[in-house]
Amino acid sequence: MSDIKTILEPQRDIPIYDECDILIVGGGAAGHSAAIAAARAGAKNIVLLERYGYMGGDVTGGYVIMVPKLSWYDKSFVRGLQEEWFTRLNKIPQAVLAPSLKEIGRSDDKALLGVWSRIHGCVSESEPKRLVRAVYFEPNELKIELDKMLLEHKDSIRVMCHSWGVKPVMEGSAVRGVIFESKEGRKAVLAKCVIDCTGDGDIFRYTGAPYSTLADGRTRSSTTALVWRIGGINWDLYCEWMKNNPEEAQALRDGCIKVAGFRCLPLPSSRNDVCWINNWHADRDCAKIKDATETEMNARNKIRDIIEYLREACPVAFRNAYLYDIAPQLGTRGSCRLKGEYVMTANDFAFSTKHDDVIAWHSTICMINDCAPIEIPYRALLPRGVENLLAAGRHLSADNVAIDWLNLIPQCVGTGQAAGVAAAVAVSDGVSVRDVNIRKVQDILAGEQDVPLPRNEHTDKSYTEVCEAHQYGLYTELAKKAHEEAETLKAYRQSDVPHLDGREGDGADDAVSAALKEYRQW
């Protein structure tokens, strides 16, 4: 066995494969959205680099086939390209299952609430119970539709599949392109602007920009998954059985975890005869070889056992269950996160922070503010000390608590769409993405691309009115506790009493930390 720990790779010339105005690395929910948004904002020279042979990433390849919390009360806050996916898919039989835009917020129809309560996420957790725009969809149909969207802009977007972006091309502190690997070898694409949509910061973490790694094993983001689907089931009968046999239903859920050795749960799909098994492998970093490998192999090793257990434990719904398919790629949740010009924290949820550079206004899964919309600033996509680079998607700038509520599919689509528009405006105006005219970006998003934004003339004022009428969701006990703690700390720090607790800052972070001490969402 050799004692050599490193190998010196000889210097070599890297061929330039292509040059463009905007290079997007990663064709997942963020990257695909960035490409489409940039083209619709007028960009004509875009390259989209994707390591697999299809678009969508976790959505179509990882089988994350439910998109949650697109509405709050009676308003659809997450629109734009995210809602366009489902408008297009809705024409295909059994491709979409969700409360319609006309139904969201309804709390007066017990029959509708009863039906949709069988579909996880379609009814609010808080009172009054109301319908929520949560969408289940067929991933393979979405694969086709995402391709069609790109083909509609084939004069502006050049797609490169099976091409893995591995390293930025740097000129001082500026990114000038990306080196990628493929079956054709190691080559490069040069660009005026690069958007890192890899989800794991595959580009920004090699630029010198600061970033965080996985930090808190108690959060959902510190888990991985490999999803599979089961056919031959009857979801309606399963829901009836759970309703009539609550103790047995809980025993079944516990039994699945015992059989698997990791947390897993049957969830509905857009078809009554197919469900998917979501799973959570704890303390896993999806950017580490060991964690990714063990997740894939351990999950597949338990699939047959889980299906057999479901057949035995609930034969009324699973008697004829069979393995329908296995997701073609790892379910990724968290690894490296940008430390951008603004780092989002739980404060943004507990104190309804307003941002002049807001580029997405999203309802999210967060019980602090009852899933009310929060503002995501452009600065959360901007790396510190690096030029010509944006970072959109699940690796956006957020701390290890807030990231749990910001790395889901809607936020990937929303930040990707904003990054694409910003890049298009920057190229058109001949400025860097750091110096882009954010008002112009906001006006294109809200005025032309169906993205509601607060305080923008193109957004219906009723969106703000519903937020104000419901206190931005800050009526929850968690929010009240955070605000009480903040006031106490503020008064304490303004007094002459010595700060024996050693805490620093304005008290907001400490207040939210106190409120969240026993709260973690998986």
Report helix, strand and coil shares of the chain as percent, to nearest 5.
35, 20, 40
What does the pLDDT look like over 167-188, one tens digit per residue?
A: 999 999 999 999 999 999 999 9
| Per-residue pLDDT at 114 | 95
CA distance 59 to 367: 24
3-state SS assignment for residue 186:
strand
What does the pLDDT look like over 456-472, one tens digit per residue?
A: 999 999 999 999 999 99
What does the pLDDT look like over 284-293, one tens digit per residue?
A: 999 999 999 9
- Which one is predicted more confidently, 159 or 486? 159
| Per-residue pLDDT at 146 | 98
- Give residue 29's identity as a one-letter amino acid code: A
| Bond from prior residue into 128 cis (ω within 30 degrees of 0) | yes
| Per-residue pLDDT at 400 | 87
**pLDDT reading at 195 higher than 60:** yes
What does the pLDDT look like over 382-438, one tens digit per residue?
A: 999 999 999 999 999 999 889 999 999 999 999 999 999 999 999 999 999 999 999
In this structure, what token pair is assigned to residue 153? 């802009």
pLDDT band of 158, cuts 50, 70, 90: very high
What does the pLDDT look like over 212-248, one tens digit per residue?
A: 987 566 688 889 999 999 999 999 999 999 999 999 9
**pLDDT reading at 498 higher than 90:** no
Residue 232: other Cβ atoms inside 10 A: 16
DSSP-assigned letters across all residues of 66-94 = EE---EETTEE-S-HHHHHHHHHHTTSTT
- Give residue 245's identity as a one-letter amino acid code: N
| Per-residue pLDDT at 251 | 97
What does the pLDDT look like over 123-137, one tens digit per residue?
A: 999 999 999 999 999
pTM of the model: 0.94
Q: Taking a C-beta distance cutoff of 8 angstroms, is the pair 275, 230 a contact?
A: yes
Per the prediction, the chain carries an average pLDDT of 93
What backbone phi and psi angles, to 5 degrees, belong to 191? Answer: -155, 155
| Per-residue pLDDT at 486 | 80
CA distance 145 to 366: 30
CA distance 375 to 413: 15
